[in-house]
Amino acid sequence: MSTKVVITGLGATTPLGGDVASTWDGLLSGRTNAQVLTDEAFADLPARIAAPAAVDPGEVLSRVEARKLDRYEQFAMVAAREAWKDSGLADADVPGERIAVSLGSGIGGLISMLNVYDTLRTKGPRHVTPYTIPMIMPNGGAAWVGLDIGARASVQTPVAACASGNEAIRHGLDLIRSGKADVAVVGGAEAAIHPLPMAAFGAMMALSRRNDDPQHASRPFDKARDGFLLGEGGAVMVLESAEHAERRGARVYAEVAGAGASADGHHIVQPDPEGKGNAFAMREALTNARLAPHEVIHINAHATSTPAGDVAEAVGIRAVFGEAAQNVVVTAPKGALGHLLGAAGVAESIATVLALYHRVVPPTINLDNLDDEVGLDVAVEPRKLPEGQLAAINNSFGFGGHNLVIAFRTV
């Protein structure tokens, strides 16, 4: 019998709000912060729309902290502090040797790298800040968070593009199950609303070009979807062994019941249209969580609003769940949030956990005409969940063919 792992703290800063409560409220009410990027640096891009964070992390941190951190690290820090406070562990006197951090990003400190390069070219090497490396090293976000909470068991950085956040949850689950740590702070953060990544994603034809109607650009599973809407932010969960949480009388949101991982082995960025890789990861998550398909009542889909990806996911879900798929309430939060890349997995896992905790599934916005090839029950209004023990999964898939699925259960 493996160690049971539960969630005792949540933190998020997203396009919908600067904390978990406002983000959850935004999801339930179907808001979006999608907008046209008016800076002239975006003017010539094929996609000039995005969903910026509702609250600038530089305004939340102290000025001295903010100037040492890349924007993605700022998001990580803001979300981690909220989650840590929410868990009550700040006052619990847990030895640092029992606390781990796993926090990833899709792109990392790219904006700082570009800014410092501009400084190097215009002002010379003397003006390159000594904080450049901590800003651009991929493990920077995890390292700052680890320092902030005093984690000493291990501080690591999963990098799996848009699945990085769920890889962090899976990693934290393993760290606690294996006995390496009692507490794992897991998360993801991303800050890539900048002309370079926007031009690059645009060159891949990955972004929605609905420049004249940004609020309706991200439309997962809808017939008229044409690509994803870039968002930004950070999301962090505090995982804890159930025994440790119980001993200190912690509030528990849900159980992390299991995790599954796979690689498509198909193409560097295109999803396998047969959904074999994502199905493999979903099956593994169910097995790992000791769940039968009919026990899953809710799926928080990865669905980014790209033509190929959404259908490949639906094909995978139908293959795994068979007839039971018709009893599953699916939602795709990227309609409201946009795509938070490396932060998406944890932000959407938080939504999955809160759906179980509050027993209501937030709606998929902008879904006017369900694509005929989807064949799933996708919620377009908030959907109540029944009483009793419930289970849900969160899917996260990343460029590179990474598939990471986390299963959650009510407690």
Please give the positions annotated as active site. Answer: 162, 302, 339
- Please give the residue ranges that form the binding site for other proteins (CB under 8 A): 62-64, 67, 126-127, 129-131
Type of residue found at 385: L
Min dist CB 27 to other proteins, Å, is 36
Residues 381, 18, 98, 167, CA torsion sign: positive
- Strand partners of residue 237: 10, 186
Q: How many CB atoms lie within 10 A of CB 112?
A: 23
Distance of CA 274 to the CA centre of its chain: 24
Residues 75, 78, 81, 87, CA torsion sign: negative
Whose CA is closest to 256, among 277, 245, 269, 242?
A: 242
Q: What is the spatial distance between Cα 303 and Cα 282, in angstroms, rounded to a whole number?
A: 14
- Residue 134, helix vs strand vs coil: helix
Q: How many residues does the chain have?
A: 411
- Strand partners of residue 295: none
Environment class of 295 (CB within 10 Å of its CB; exposed 0-12, middle 13-18, buried 19+): middle
